[in-house]
Amino acid sequence: MTDDIPTLRRILHSCRTLAVVGLSAEWHRPSYFAASYMRSKGCRIVPVNPRYAGGEVLGERCFARLEDIPFAVDLVDVFRRTEDVLPVARSAVAIGAKCLWQQLGVKNLEADALARAAGLDSVMDRCVKIEHARLFGGLHWVGVNTRVISARRPA
């Protein structure tokens, strides 16, 4: 499991196209909030949810499956139950993603091992929005201990 600061910073800096599996169109859901935040930071968000396939979420066309996306995806962000992650990991490998990211509360060790064996970075039980804000400046302004000590703003 990737949890060291330099690796997380590298992943979040280099992965600019994020397929969000389980992205909800409801503004109050965590998936919507996290995806909206990452879009505001310059990432392209690709919604993946069979419920909304063919429609739009966050102004982007929604796909039923990762394999339906007609362009390259850097990071697959999974907002699904732990037991539902393994097929998503297989799909992430099949489409050539660079990273499998399992959100807070999601920790499928088999999916993690599969992704790593295929050469993907793998992150479990972490939120992309929280990690981005923590590592690229944001959370410290509201008094959250980011565990990052530096006098310089990260690039």
- Tens digit of each residue's pLDDT (9 = 90 or more) over 26-55: 999 999 999 999 999 999 999 999 999 999
Residue 21 backbone class (left: φ over 0; alpha: ψ -120 to 50; beta: rest): beta
What is the reported pLDDT for 137? 76
Q: Are 148 and 5 in contact (CB under 8 A)?
A: yes
Token code pair at residue 142: 């509201």
CATH superfamily of 5-142: NAD(P)-binding Rossmann-like Domain (3.40.50.720)
Place of tokens 């999601």: 106
Q: What angle do CA 54, 16, 14 make, to 5 degrees?
A: 155
Domain boundaries defined on the chain: 5-142
Taking the whole predicted model, whether its pTM rises above 0.95 is answered as no
